[in-house]
Chains A and B, each alone.
Chain A
Amino acid sequence: MSTPHHHEHHEHHISTARQLWAVGTALIFLTIVTVILGKYVAIPAPFDIVTAMVIALTKATLVAAFFMNLYWDVKFNAILLVTSVIFFLLMVSVTLLDTLYRNDVVPSF
């Protein structure tokens, strides 16, 4: 009995070995860059932490897009990831609105 599928059968994306090695190499390169910038280059605050976080975010994006395959995946999964990051930032911002503006830090903290 031939029951045609209602939606198209889509092939799962298969990365080439070269693509995966390129991503891995880029990640290691960025790790070395962040160590050199963090340890041997005097970047004035707050740009030291900003630089480190920009590099970390770039690495995280590479992992999410090409190792976790979000680049080729249905967009809903990428939306889930981005939403979790937004809610994390919301949690941090709302908490900082309290802790940054206290007159006195609670002594035992």
Chain B
Amino acid sequence: MSNESAHGSHVQHHFVDSDHQFDTAKMGMWVFIVNEILFFGGLFCAYIIYRTWYPGLFQEAALQLDTFWGAVNTIVLIGSSLTVAMAIRSVQKNQIKGLRINLLITIALACVFMVIKGFEYSHKFELGILPGSLYTFEGIEHVQAPVFFSIYYMLTGVHALHVLIGIGLIYWIYRRATKGEFSSEYYTPVEITGLYWHLVDLIWIFLFPLLYLIE
């Protein structure tokens, strides 16, 4: 019975208190982020190996990517990271309306990112720039051109998958916030989803110069 009063209703019995539970959940998320970095790391490793083998190919093939829209998407993702940080600030201050508005803006920005990415993909599909053996584009001399675009589609495709999952997660957090499940006392899922979303931004920060800004 004393346990009940010392613990908030959200605290599982195996934690000392709310802080203990919060820190443990957050550390678990950081371990997952380590796993994500190494997962994307394998793809970045493929990128690095092929770029050292075929530097000319990367310069030539990158001309097919539109730097302007890549930069716009970078700024869109940075904006969405900012609104997620603002959402967490809102819930820490117990401003649930601010939390919900910032989450909605984040979802909107994530959708803008996906729409732009969709236009970029469909433009390439029309030209026959498809990954691997599906590649039919003839505008690039280099015989290994499909390799560059296989790496491009794997990196940006897996990243876009993360954006889609992020949209789902943030919507889930939004729904729970609407039901009044979060307050300044308990917002662990908001914090952890926020960390995930920042990771998506973090990966793109490296993808953008590596794919779009090769001179």
Contacts and interface: CB of A to CB of B under 8 A. Distances in A.
Contacts of B42: 91
11 contacts: A16-B89, A60-B202, A77-B26, A77-B30, A81-B30, A81-B33, A81-B34, A84-B33, A84-B37, A87-B41, A99-B49
Main SS of the interface on chain A? Answer: helix
Main secondary structure of the interface of B (DSSP, over half): helix
Given A35-B213, A39-B215, A56 B206 contact: yes
Interface of B: 2, 5-6, 16-17, 19, 22-23, 26-27, 30-31, 33-34, 37-38, 41-42, 44-45, 48-49, 52-53, 67, 71, 74-75, 78-79, 81-82, 84-86, 89, 92-93, 194-195, 198, 201-202, 205-206, 208-210, 212-213, 215
Contact of B27 (A14, A27, A77): A77
A63 B209 contact: no
By size class, the interface of chain A is 35 or more
Interface of A: 1, 3, 5-7, 9-10, 12, 14-17, 20-21, 23-24, 27-28, 31-32, 34-35, 38-39, 42-43, 48, 52-53, 55-56, 59-60, 63-64, 66-68, 73-74, 76-77, 80-81, 83-85, 87-88, 91-92, 95-96, 99-100, 105, 109
